[in-house]
Structure 1
């Protein structure tokens, strides 16, 4: 039977509490995932850096000229550059949580093949396989770093990229300690690094898999106060040109700095690898600071500083002695590398609904520009000399003046 409801005066004036959906607070950064993906990036780029590190051995063993060495870099970077935006666009629509682990298998195969290659075309094929592994790795791993960032996207991108820079810096040292004394066949030992990366990436895939459904259901749109489509395309074009100036210069260091030091100052192969490590280590530190500074002060300012700020030092590098070469290379590496996380995150913020494609495009362009730069600069070195290469490349950071055309993006200070 229905009972009468008695409403007291207190009941009538009391506030009614309704369970309303609350705005979710930003998730805290998943530091374990960011650390794991950064460590994987370290392993991935360590293996990539072995290719230019063994150039002196390959040059002596197979009587290669600088043009042929540049073509090896082009084979590696072309596959990575061509495939990365395609893979990124595909995973935007069809995310594959375990693709990172499977893609690392290409790097594993490439290292084994490079260790036993005795013909130039086999070396090119091995380099292309390592480039393919890199193409699979970068777009989705960059997305995972952003997903785990808890809103601190610059920090996450820096931690992710600094892993790659550390791997790139460590690679030449390991090559000097292992590959130079023990020969080309010792490259096979580094396939164990690829096997370790596969295990780590498989665990990251397990973390990523349950979050794919949420990603599919979420719809990310452009902010209402964001730049127009025309300004977005102009900004993306400017960012690519800035990336070109940065990667073209770093390609001259990564592929030929050892030869420059050996020819100009008469240092040994092993000593030249240590000097290269100084530049690459400083680059890793610069990447680490570039992202958080972009979070706090704005990415446009970091881009301005990192590219233009390196110009006085790049202009001086070809004309100083060995000691100041080492000092200037550290300064250049630190300053110019801080642009990388700022450029990537800036581009992602321009098109937040195409994270995989944008990440793949910019990482791919970085590899592509680097590969083209290595090939072109190799031809220039054969035509003139290696010192002339650095005299010309010294002016590349001046292209950073184009940053004036970048729109100012709103950011939240952290």
Structure 2
């Protein structure tokens, strides 16, 4: 039998429903794994084993009492430490927030609790969810980066310390760690999951994403979190499908548009060869395509928007206590302050035409297929890796999935799929098909 800590979330739900294990049993197995591996992986910013076990026992009592159960009842979840939790610190990976306890749950955490999930602890984030590398290590090889900024969430799920975790993405902070750590990851459409109670870096980019061990896991947790927020002008206001049901629909073999994207020249030779094998293996189901200008400038557009919007959120924090911020973050803020207003406006206005061309392309295909990173996780800890294969899609606000089906030099590399904005259900359904196809 699969060890309890190695179950997918979907398997854990079935095991719990059948009475084959309790929420406490699963939590103990996860905590035992953390105890055995924490000196190496270092994925947790805050973990109180007694609190985690108490919450798991409460979930068991709720079940035994015959109460209504949510779709994640009894399943442990890790929370990136820029997302507020009522019973745990939220330190944002920064000395600026050391010891902070807000005493409230972010909306996404409250929804997890309402779905029956057991909040296990807070996972490591890079400083202010930015580029300064964290203490976390890649569980496949601790000499390599786990990526960032959702470093702890990606590593903890990959190392079988927790079956599900939340991350966030402003550049590539969900998809890139998913690829580097060899797990399934979803950056949903902008605003599909509420951002209330999440540290804001960019109001047009910040997106709450999810990690799991299968496409079914991604649908299960994202579906539990999907909600409209009238107070957030970037909350997705379209139809909100049942992601689990839509991901399970039988579908004809999908068609894919392979895009090298403007980031292609930065990809490693091994990564290019790996994704080319996927394209060739799909045969007529995958067609090489291009998008018209201004798509060729999209990397600069994303960088401009991210920099300009970071200034009003992080500027006052760092100006008030510069001694509590790293030189790397201060240097990035100084560069961001040089962005010209005209360049920012141009970058914002370019979104519409590029999205129109992408939607037109996806009227003919089920998903875009592309690399999720320039290569496998980099050696050493000077960097969390490049986000050039991610930021362009974050800029457009479209949903992205990475599937852990490739490897380069003995390290994981994902396959990224991209869908239309708001069409997360179809993207997950397409991802499920490709995941099974590549798994052989």
More helix per residue: 1 or 2?
Answer: 1
Choose between structure 1 and 2 for higher RCO, CA contacts under 8 A separated by at least 6 residues.
1
TM-score (norm: length of structure 2): 0.23
User: Larger Rg: 1 or 2?
Assistant: 1
More strand per residue: 1 or 2?
Answer: 2
TM-score (norm: length of structure 1): 0.24
